[in-house]
């Protein structure tokens, strides 16, 4: 595959896109969903490297299938399989893999690791999740919102989103979406578990942190949550259960949202902790459409980075 001319482009945070690019990318993801497996194959002969330090189901499978359906291939590279697991510097790995691969999709812990990978790689680097950001999930989430509320839901204003739980990488990425799109975002989390204050400041009056899940959910179109203890925080699980008691998306909380509201969760879910089984399996849940949309959103993203139209 002939790589695009000019400077390579990375996708480390949602704000690596501007507003118009984000809207166009979500629109293109919807087109890929309609095309299914019958679409064009713009990544013929391209090989995507999946460099994953963290476990994954949806991210790993959706990127691999996306690459295949676009005409390319994907190769899984875990620390067990590479010299990264034996202490090889990231900068060396990035430069070597760039000689073999057309794109690096990286899932790791500290965000500065993926930034170092980006500095030394000569091919596009995609953030498949770090401790501070999960932008690929947001592409799927925004596609799901447009499916339920119309193509103009993100561009015309009036959208209200509630985040319930930890101010984690997902909350940060919702803040970045808020920065770009200007919707109303209310984040309910216990004290000491707030999202990135710099992102909160960038969102200005469009976003705020509250301490009451009911206040966040009131009148919301979208009610969003995630596990209380993310990967790498297992040692904090008991303390987090105590601190997050009451920050659960249940049937009573959904009564505060709009009647047409949807529920999102990036999965895997701890049913009975951050979300009840009844809500996750109920009529307002868009969780499994959201999971499917990872595939379509990532096809649009890979196309943008490797085969811009």
Active site (catalytic) residues: 107, 134, 137, 226, 266, 294
- SS3 sequence of the chain: CCCCCCCCCCECCHHHCCHHHHHHHHHHHHHHHHHHHHCCCCCCCCEEEEEECCCCCHHHHHHHHHHHHCCCEEEEECCCCCHHHHCCCHHHHHHHHHHHCCEEEEECCCHHHHHHHHHHCCCCEEECCCCCCCHHHHHHHHHHHHHHHCCCCCCCCCCEEEEECCCCHHHHHHHHHHHHHCCEEEEECCCCCCCCHHHHHHHHHHEEEECCHHHHHCCCCEEEECCCCCCCCHHHHHHHHHHCCCCCECHHHHCCCCCCCEEEECCCCCECCCECHHHHCCCCECHHHHHHHHHHHHHHHHHHHHCCC
């Amino acid at each position: 595959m002939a790589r695009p001319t000019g400077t390579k482009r990375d996708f480390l945070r949602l704000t690596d896109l501007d507003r118009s690019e984000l809207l166009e990318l979500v629109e293109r993801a919807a087109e890929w969903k309609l095309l299914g497996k019958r679409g064009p194959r713009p990544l013929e002969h391209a090989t995507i490297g999946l460099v994953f330090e963290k476990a994954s189901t949806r991210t790993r499978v959706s990127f691999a299938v996306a690459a295949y359906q676009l005409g390319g291939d994907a190769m899984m590279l875990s620390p067990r399989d590479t010299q990264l697991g034996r202490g090889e510097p990231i900068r060396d790995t990035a430069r070597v893999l760039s000689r073999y691969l057309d794109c690096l999709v990286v899932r790791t812990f500290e965000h500065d690791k993926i930034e170092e990978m980006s500095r030394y790689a000569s091919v596009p680097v995609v953030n498949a999740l770090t401790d501070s950001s999960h932008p690929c999930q947001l592409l799927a989430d925004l596609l799901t919102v447009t499916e339920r509320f119309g193509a103009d839901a993100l561009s015309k204003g009036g959208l209200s989103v509630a985040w319930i739980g930890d101010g984690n990488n997902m909350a940060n990425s919702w803040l970045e979406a808020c920065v770009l799109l200007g919707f109303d975002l209310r984040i309910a989390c216990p004290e000491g578990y707030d999202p990135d204050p710099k992102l909160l400041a960038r969102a200005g009056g469009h976003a705020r942190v509250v301490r009451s899940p009911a206040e966040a959910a009131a009148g919301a179109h979208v009610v969003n949550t995630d596990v209380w203890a993310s990967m790498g925080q297992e040692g904090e699980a008991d303390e987090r259960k105590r601190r997050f008691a009451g920050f659960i998306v249940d049937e009573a909380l959904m009564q505060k949202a709009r009647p047409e509201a949807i529920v999102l969760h990036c999965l895997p879910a701890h049913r009975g902790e951050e979300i009840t089984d009844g809500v996750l399996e109920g009529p307002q849940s868009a969780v499994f459409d959201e999971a499917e949309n990872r595939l379509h959103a990532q096809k649009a993203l890979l196309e943008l980075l490797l085969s811009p139209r």
